[in-house]
Amino acid sequence: MIASFEHRFIFIKTRKTAGTAIELVLSSLCGAADIITPIHPDDEKIRQAHGWRGPQNFRIGPAPAGAPEGVLERGDEADYQEMMKGHPTGNEYYNHMPASLARQMLGEDFWQKAHKWTIERHPYEKAVSQAYWKMWFMGRPAADFQSVLDDLIAHDDIDNRDLYTIDGKLALDEIIRQEDLPGSFQAVLAKSGLRFDGPLPRAKTVQRADRRPAAEILNDRQKKAIYESCRETFELMGYER
């Protein structure tokens, strides 16, 4: 999540939608008072190599006793794993922060003034991408792909609507499609009077063994299950089954 008071925008980061690459670029456009949340240490190295701003202003007051120090202070893998367990301390902005909590912490005045946006991706592609990422993250062999994918589908871990809706209703001003990057990214930047010249950085990339479109990788049962769990996303974004 990135919130720019200088340029009046809020970026809510969704899962497996090129969000880290977008965060990297946005951090290069932020000012000293803006909020930039930590990302994986490997991706922080990309920010450092470009000389872009790293994590800043993501804590409110001193951290409570026993809280993980996070990547701002130490930047090691152990701290990152602690922060990504999904148990925020309550006084910090974090990576995949839902709009409901961002609104509460940022305050209604700025929330209403800022241009609030995010990225979405076809649920089929998101499911396959997330399965490959999870296999890499857990160190699972290629033969486990189908079981990892089925587990993701069974636990409804693919849809992003929980991040950009509040009480089931769309809470942001705009959702751009990952399939339309980078053109749609430039268009949304322009609404804040910004522009980024250059290619998007490659971040959090995991080698995908099967490069076919996801619709050719998934079987009919998996497609049906994904559609049922992400039906509202299909309808909202106009994605085809």
The per-residue pLDDT for range 151-162, each reduced to its tens digit, is 999 988 899 999
| Mean predicted confidence (pLDDT) in 71-77 | 45
| Mean predicted confidence (pLDDT) in 15-36 | 94
Which segment of 32-36, 59-63, 124-128 scores lowest on mean pLDDT? Answer: 59-63
**Of the candidates 98, 123, 115, 117, the residue with the CA atom closest to the CA atom of residue 238:** 123
Q: What is the DSSP letter of 158?
A: S
CB atoms within 10 A of CB 155: 9
Predicted local distance difference test score (pLDDT) of residue 71? 39
| Mean predicted confidence (pLDDT) in 159-169 | 96
Global pTM?
A: 0.89
Predicted local distance difference test score (pLDDT) of residue 184? 96
pLDDT above 80 for 67: no
The per-residue pLDDT for range 78-97, each reduced to its tens digit, is 555 665 555 556 678 888 99
The per-residue pLDDT for range 39-51, each reduced to its tens digit, is 888 888 899 999 9
The per-residue pLDDT for range 185-195, each reduced to its tens digit, is 999 999 999 99
Predicted local distance difference test score (pLDDT) of residue 79? 55
Predicted local distance difference test score (pLDDT) of residue 89? 60
CA 22/CA 29 separation, integer angstroms: 11
Domain ranges within the chain, ordered by starting residue: 2-237
Specify the fold of 2-237: Rossmann fold (3.40.50)
CA 149/CA 130 separation, integer angstroms: 8
Predicted local distance difference test score (pLDDT) of residue 72? 44
| Mean predicted confidence (pLDDT) in 164-176 | 97
219 close to 226: Cβ distance less than 8 angstroms: no
Looking at the chain, the whole-number percentage of residues with pLDDT higher than 90 is 69
pLDDT above 80 for 104: yes
pLDDT above 90 for 34: yes
Q: What is the DSSP letter of 59?
A: B
Predicted local distance difference test score (pLDDT) of residue 73? 42
Predicted local distance difference test score (pLDDT) of residue 35? 92
Evaluate the CA torsion angle 136, 142, 144, 145 in order and state its sign: positive
Q: How many residues would you count in the chain?
A: 241
Evaluate the CA torsion angle 215, 43, 115, 182 in order and state its sign: negative
